[in-house]
């Protein structure tokens, strides 16, 4: 499903708008994300920091978890915004979570002027661990001992 420029810009703008709700008193680095589902619903997210630091959650995962927990697991696109004069690049944890729900939907890494680069989850996380790998393992596991299943899983790749 391809998106025209107006739709892409609108989604990026939604991600920028979501930065307003970032809770980032420690980093002072607001991030916004906007996730467009296949049925046209948009879920936004912002980073939510914590005094423990380690419990901080990124904007991208906030948006995805909001969508999943309201029954939306198929996505048309994700847009990400920051105030950096560089592409809003997701962290490794978010790349893994994006890949869980598809390898090929567009992810727009934007700049404040709404320019963007388009990537996909598998481009952002090459050779990433995906749900299909677990399914393959479980299929192998039915025919082999657990140990052999692990061995097959490794050598098949």
Which residue, 10 or 57, has its beta carbon nearer to Zn ion? 57
Q: How far is the CB of 99 from Zn ion (least distance, A)?
A: 13
Q: How far is the CB of 116 from Zn ion (least distance, A)?
A: 18
Q: Does position 27 bind Zn ion by CB under 5 A? A: no
Q: How far is the CB of 88 from Zn ion (least distance, A)?
A: 10
Report CA-CA distances (Å) from 139 to 102, 144, 147, 152.
21, 9, 13, 11
Q: Does position 33 bind Zn ion by CB under 5 A? A: no
Which residue, 11 or 88, has its beta carbon nearer to Zn ion? 88
Q: How far is the CB of 97 from Zn ion (least distance, A)?
A: 8
Question: How many angstroms separate the CA atoms of 128 and 121, rounded?
Answer: 9
Question: How many angstroms separate the CA atoms of 149 and 9, rounded?
Answer: 46
Q: Does position 58 bind Zn ion by CB under 5 A? A: yes
Question: How many angstroms separate the CA atoms of 74 and 138, rounded?
Answer: 23
Choose which of 94, 99, 109, 119 interacts with Zn ion (CB under 5 A).
94
Cβ within 8 Å of residue 30, ≥6 positions away: 19, 20, 22, 24, 46, 47, 82, 83
Residue 41 and residue 68 in contact, taking contact as beta carbons nearer than 8 Å: no
Q: Does position 64 bind Zn ion by CB under 5 A? A: no
Catalytic residue among 5, 20, 60, 151: 60
| Catalytic status, residue 49 | no
Q: Does position 97 bind Zn ion by CB under 5 A? A: no
Question: How many angstroms separate the CA atoms of 149 and 128, rounded?
Answer: 20
Choose which of 20, 50, 84, 91 interacts with Zn ion (CB under 5 A).
91
Residue ranges in contact with Zn ion by CB under 5 A: 58, 91, 94
Among all residues, which ones are annotated catalytic?
60
């Amino acid at each position: 499903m391809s998106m025209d420029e107006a739709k892409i810009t609108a989604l990026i703008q939604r991600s920028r708008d979501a930065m307003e709700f970032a809770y980032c008193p420690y980093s002072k680095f607001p991030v916004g994300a906007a996730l467009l589902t296949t049925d046209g619903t948009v879920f936004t997210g912002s980073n939510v920091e914590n005094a423990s630091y380690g419990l901080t959650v990124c904007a991208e995962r906030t948006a995805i978890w909001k969508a999943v927990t309201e029954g939306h697991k198929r996505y048309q696109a994700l847009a990400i915004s920051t105030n950096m004069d560089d592409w809003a690049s997701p962290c490794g944890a978010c790349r893994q979570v994006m890949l869980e729900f598809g390898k090929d939907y567009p992810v727009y890494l934007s700049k404040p002027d709404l320019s963007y680069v388009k990537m996909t989850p598998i481009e952002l996380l090459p050779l990433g661990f995906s749900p299909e790998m677990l399914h393959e393992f479980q299929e192998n596991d039915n025919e082999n001992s657990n140990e052999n299943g692990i061995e097959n899983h490794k050598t098949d790749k």
